[in-house]
Amino acid sequence: MPQLQRLRLDHAPALLEFERENRAYFAASVPDRGDDYFAHFDARHDELLAEQAAGLHFFHLLVGSGGEVLGRVNLVDVADGSADLGYRIAERAAGRGLATAGVREACALAAAEYGLTGLRAATTLDNAASRAVLARTGFTPCGETELGGRPGLRFERNLDREEGRQRP
C-alpha cells in the first residue's frame, strides 16, 4: 500500500512526472494547471515548501514502493482551525481505494498533527468518484458551487469528534 508522505524537496522529480503523465486525465475532471505550471515547476515547488513551512498548507503525496507518486492529498488555506481538502490520483492507480485511504489518513493528520477542527472540499457534479470518496470519508454536502465553469457541490467535515479530539 502506498505511503502518505509530507511533501519534501526531493519529491520534485517524481511529482513533476506524476503531473505530466496525468495532465489530460486530470483535465477531464478538474481545471488544467496550464503550461506555466510545468514551465516553472521547480520554482513553484519551492514556493509550496515555503508555504508549508509557514503553516499555510499541508501537502502530501501517496508514494508507491518504488518512489513513484500515485496521488496527492493536500490541505490548503489553513486558517481558523480549518482547511480545504484537495486530492488527485494517477489514472493507472484509480479505482484501487487510494483516494479513500489517502483522504482518511489526511483527515486523521489534520486532527491529530495539525490541530484542525474542520475540513472543506468541493467537486464537480459529474465527478461521481470524487463525491463517493468524500461520502466514504465522512464529508457531507453543504451547498452548491462552480468549479472551472462547471456546476459542483461543496462538502464539509467536522473533525472535533475525531479519536483523541473530543471536546469538553
pTM of the model: 0.90
Tens-binned pLDDT, residue by residue, of the chain (168 aa): 899 999 999 999 999 999 999 999 998 877 788 899 999 999 999 999 999 999 999 999 999 999 999 999 999 999 999 999 999 999 999 999 999 999 999 999 999 999 999 999 999 998 999 999 999 999 999 999 998 888 999 999 999 865 444 433
Q: Where are the alpha helices (DSSP H) in 72-153?
A: 98-112, 128-136
What CATH number should be reported for the domain whose range is 3-158? 3.40.630.30
Q: Parse the chain into domains and list their residue ranges.
A: 3-158
For 54-146, where are the alpha helices, taking DSSP H only?
98-112, 128-136
CA gap 118, 138 in Å, rounded: 11
Closest CA to 77 of 86, 87, 64, 69: 86
β 69-79/58-63 pair status: antiparallel
